[in-house]
């Protein structure tokens, strides 16, 4: 997997976790939901990239 893309996807997942935790801490359900959505998007992109890499090799 391209290192830059992997880092970007992991960063998106981590950022989503932070947003979710912040949302829980302050009681902001919208921020919490955005954080979960961002985590899902990051995980999905990372899974797609891994599949591409598998097919290449």
Q: What residue ranges in the chain does DSSP mark as E strands?
A: none
Q: How far is CA 9 from CA 4, 15, 24, 26, 32, in A?
A: 9, 10, 23, 26, 19
Full domain range(s) for residue 19: 3-56
What tens digit of pLDDT does each residue of 17-52 get?
999 999 999 999 999 999 999 999 999 999 998 888
Query: How many residues are there in the chain?
Result: 57
Q: What pLDDT, on the 0 to 100 scale, is given for residue 7?
A: 85
Question: What predicted TM-score, i.e. pTM, was given to this entire model?
Answer: 0.79
| Residue matched to tokens 């961002």 | 38
Q: What pLDDT, on the 0 to 100 scale, is given for residue 17?
A: 95
As a whole number, the mean pLDDT across the chain is 90
Q: Domain tally for the chain? A: 1
Structure confidence at residue 55 as a pLDDT band (50, 70, 90):
confident
């Amino acid at each position: 997997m391209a290192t830059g893309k992997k880092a970007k996807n992991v960063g998106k997942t981590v950022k989503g976790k932070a947003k979710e935790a912040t949302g829980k801490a302050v009681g902001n359900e919208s921020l919490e939901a955005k954080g979960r959505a961002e985590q899902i998007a990051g995980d999905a992109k990372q899974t797609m990239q891994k599949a591409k890499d598998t097919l290449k090799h």
